[in-house]
Amino acid sequence: MPQEQGTRARQRDKTRQALLHEGRRLFAEVGYGAVSLAEIVTAAGVTKGALYHHFDSKTALFRAVLRNVQEEVGARVADAAGTRDDPWDQLVTGCQEFITATTAPDIQRIMLVDGPAVLGWTEWRAMDEASSARHLTEALAGLVADGVIAAQPVAPLAHLLSGAMNEAALWLAASTDPADLTDTRAALGRLLDALRVGPAGGSVSG
């Protein structure tokens, strides 16, 4: 029965979204290690059997939550960059938005603190590469090709810049001074400006 199949599919999707929503909330509030599967299924209003239909473990659920968080940050970066016409300004605006987006406590905890600890550095890096790092590499490659950034291998530059932004985000996560975000954005602007050797329209800083 097509209608019955459609109803079941909608229910499965609703269950999965409830698990992702409550998993994200609990992982963000108390951290991966302090959350039990029982708490997650109770909060989502489903059974453990329903959870295991979608995710074979708490780690698998966390991995899906992390992927959603990375996609969310990537979308925010892309949207911010898209407000600029010039490729250089797109890079700077996107990088600044990444720093700002990752100051959200839930994103910090899931993406930067628990992500590498739960999944291991290798898998976390692979997921990061598949999301924001890939777009950063593409943006840098275009600027090198246009002569805005000096000719050089793009991969090491992308990893250095990505690592610097991730480290800054982790530092901000432990900061108690609101001025640190402004100072970090300003420092990032100066760091990026140092890469530019050719004309690239306006400059975005702060």
**Cα separation values, 17 from 13, 26, 74, 111, Å:** 6, 14, 20, 19
Q: pTM of the entire structure?
A: 0.85
- pLDDT > 90? residue 157: yes
Report the C-alpha gap between 170 and 45 in whole angstroms.
33
Q: Which of 81-90, 174-183, 197-206 has the lowest mean pLDDT?
A: 197-206
Residue 203: which pLDDT band, with cuts at 50, 70 and 90? very low
Report the C-alpha gap between 145 and 200 in whole angstroms.
12
Mean pLDDT of the chain: 90
- pLDDT > 60? residue 137: yes
Rg of the chain, C-alpha, whole Å? 20
pLDDT on residue 92:
97
- pLDDT > 70? residue 144: yes
pLDDT on residue 201:
43
Report the C-alpha gap between 44 and 54 in whole angstroms.
13
Percent of the chain with pLDDT over 90: 72
What average pLDDT does range 134-152 have in this prediction?
94
* Residues in Cβ contact with 86 at an 8 Å cutoff, skipping those fewer than 6 apart: 200, 201, 202
**Cβ-based neighbour number of residue 126 at 10 Å:** 12
Query: pLDDT (tens digit, 9 = 90+) per residue, 83-129?
Result: 999 999 999 999 999 999 998 889 999 998 999 999 998 999 888 88
pLDDT on residue 79:
94
What average pLDDT does range 177-205 have in this prediction?
81
What average pLDDT does range 27-54 have in this prediction?
94
**Cα separation values, 80 from 5, 35, 46, 48, 98, Å:** 40, 34, 37, 39, 9
Residue type, 73: V
